[in-house]
Amino acid sequence: MQAPAILSPVSLRQQALAALCTAEPQAKLAAAHALHVALQGGTAAIDPGETPQPDPADELPGRPARPALIPPADVPQRSPFTPEGLAALLHAVAHIEFNAIDLALDAIWRFPHMPEDFYRDWTQVAHEEAIHFGLLSDHLRSLGHVYGDFPAHNGLWEMCVKTRHDATARMALVPRTLEARGLDATPLIQARLRKVNSPAALRAIEILNVILRDEIGHVAVGNRWYAWLCQQQGLDPVAHYRTLARAYNAPRLRPPFNDAARRAAGFTPAELEALSSGTA
């Protein structure tokens, strides 16, 4: 009798790169979830020293043909008090979550020689961002729209590209800067939706509650690894953040800030003081 074949665990980082290159949204979601399941089930191996390489024919990141990407200032502002405006708002949040899947997948494959927990953390983030995108996509469909129906901008991924050679800059300026802005913005969006007070708006508030809860954890991942990287390099996190923000032309953070959510996400008193004083 022939012995059964022994299947080697798949490479987590190589599979993250493959998921990143996947263009079709539902396929990307499935790939992000599969990566999480494989890691949880022990069928994905983490090799921090591995150097996955994208195929020259692959686009980074893989994206559908729509939405059209336009400059942030050109994205139309619509009122959520109209059905079209509410759908556009949900689409904007869905676009952020779709990009956030890619940002997590990119962190997994791109940065070598990090502790295994770094790759585990970002696999969990990719899985949860995929859940968020799925919830928003379903709600969009209930309103007669799909992802791609409205134009969007590429700000999140542009910062990802800028920081592709520096893990410290990536942790500082993507999860704990651009994504942390969502902690501040979400309660304000929910307040507007409460004024709309339609079943669709109330469902959107419920979805945003899920997203806010999870995003606190995602920003905490960025804070954790930014602090770890600064410690490894003997850098002061607050002072080095200012250096990075200037070097990479990061957006200036303006109030109001969701201090409670930021504290829960691991921002230190010194960092919060720098934010509130405008010296961050």
The residues, any chain, with a CB within 8 Å of residue 137's CB and separated by 6 or more, are 25, 94, 146, 147
**What is the rounded distance in angstroms from the CA atom of residue 148 to the CA atom of residue 25?**
10
User: Does any domain span residue 67?
Assistant: no
User: Does any domain span residue 236?
Assistant: yes
The tokens describing 111, both together, are 């940065």
User: Does any domain span residue 83?
Assistant: yes
| 181-214 b/e (C-beta count within 10 Å ≥ 16 → b) | bbbbbbeebbeebeebeeebbebbbebbeebbeb
The residues, any chain, with a CB within 8 Å of residue 198's CB and separated by 6 or more, are 86
* Per-residue pLDDT at 209: 98
* Per-residue pLDDT at 57: 75
Task: Please give the residue range of the domain that contains residue 134.
Answer: 77-277
* Per-residue pLDDT at 8: 57
User: Does any domain span residue 44?
Assistant: no
User: Does any domain span residue 113?
Assistant: yes
Below-50 pLDDT ranges, the chain = 1-7
Residue pointed to by tokens 């904007």: 92
Backbone angles phi and psi of 92, in degrees to 5 = -60, -40
* Per-residue pLDDT at 78: 85
- Please report, for the domain that includes residue 185, its CATH number: 1.20.1260.10
Contact, 59 vs 106, CB < 8 A?
no
Contact, 101 vs 214, CB < 8 A?
no
Integer CA distances (angstroms), 231 to 166, 227, 234, 235, in order: 15, 6, 5, 6
The residues pairing with 11 across neighbouring beta strands, listed in sequence order, are: 45
**What is the rounded distance in angstroms from the CA atom of residue 159 to the CA atom of residue 249?**
9
* Per-residue pLDDT at 243: 96
- Domains of the chain: total: 1
User: Does any domain span residue 24?
Assistant: no
User: Does any domain span residue 270?
Assistant: yes
